Amino acid sequence: MKKITLLFLATVLTLSSFAQRSELGAMVGTSFYLGDLNPRGLFKMPQLAGGIIYRYNFTPRWAIKADVLFAKVAGSDAITNKNYERNLSFTSPITEISVQAEMNFFKLYNERGKNFFSPYIFAGISVFSFNPQAEYNGQTFALQHLGTEGQGLEGQKDYYSLCSVAIPFGLGFRFNFAKYISLGAEWGLRYTFTDYLDDVSGNYYDNQTLYDKRGPVVAALADRSETLHQAGTGRGNQTTKDLYSFAGVTLTVKFGDMDKSCDIRTNVKRKAVSGNSRL
């Protein structure tokens, strides 16, 4: 993931040096997650998020945006899931690289006398990494390699990947001021193709077997309820995937001279040139 991020930054910096319609800037805001430990609560347990944005404006209505965003998400049965007796909790860092198409509702310009603000919608595709963790007896444990649902044991599923794909979509508002500066705000959800953002998806594995094969810490992190669950009963909801969200403000700077190629005029009659006119 680090190599992909560095390649992205090098490409953006190269393009922004030449493309007159390019914008480069940053986003700062908040993030949250929706999943087994937070089924419906928007902006519950919000975390700090931010990153780098590159935008290329094809026309005053259409743009493509690429970003590298860094965030953290968290969930807890005790806080975000109505004190559910399962009593699980997690936090996870997220690094996302995405490409999105943006459509402005109004034509958007940086020129005086023309429209300088517009709401917009966006959608695209992203690749992200995550690493769910939980605290136990004052220590923080990364959960994926522990196999809290029996992953990696004989006859069970393999360990889930810590990289996945998501579909980002959402809406925002942009405001161009001065000649090269754009200020905006946006909120977007990421529909992921993993159900393990929170390390919770399938059924409880036999807790005594986890204790014998992987030790007391794994057994305790797998089932933190007061009364241990029977093997095979539901630990999570396997029918839905997890989501996470970014919301924040953006500030970008346009590179190069004003690009008037997006404002092509048509049906303009050329003035006749008299024979006495001099060039």
Boundaries of every domain in the chain: 2-144+160-202+241-254
Quick check: 14 pLDDT over 70?
no
E strands present in 158-205: 163-177, 181-192
* Residue 114 confidence (pLDDT): 84
Strand partners, 46: none
* Residue 279 confidence (pLDDT): 39
* Residue 115 confidence (pLDDT): 85
264 pLDDT band (50/70/90 cuts)? Answer: very low
Non-local (6+) Cβ contacts of 52 within 8 A are 9, 12, 24, 25, 26, 27, 67, 68, 69
Quick check: 169 pLDDT over 90?
yes
* Residue 179 confidence (pLDDT): 80
Average pLDDT over residues 150-173: 96
CA 161/CA 272 separation, integer angstroms: 69
Out of 100-114, 219-233, 252-266, least confident range? 252-266
pLDDT in tens, 73-97: 999 999 999 999 999 999 999 999 9
Average pLDDT over residues 269-274: 48
Question: For the domain 2-144+160-202+241-254, what is the CATH code?
Answer: 2.40.160.20
Quick check: 8 pLDDT over 70?
no
Q: What is the pTM assigned to this prediction?
A: 0.83
135 pLDDT band (50/70/90 cuts)? Answer: very high
Considering only residues 94 and 271, tell me which one the structure prediction assigns the higher pLDDT: 94
Average pLDDT over residues 118-136: 98
* Residue 62 confidence (pLDDT): 96
pLDDT in tens, 238-254: 999 999 999 999 999 98
32, 71 contact by CB (below 8 A): no
CA 205/CA 154 separation, integer angstroms: 12
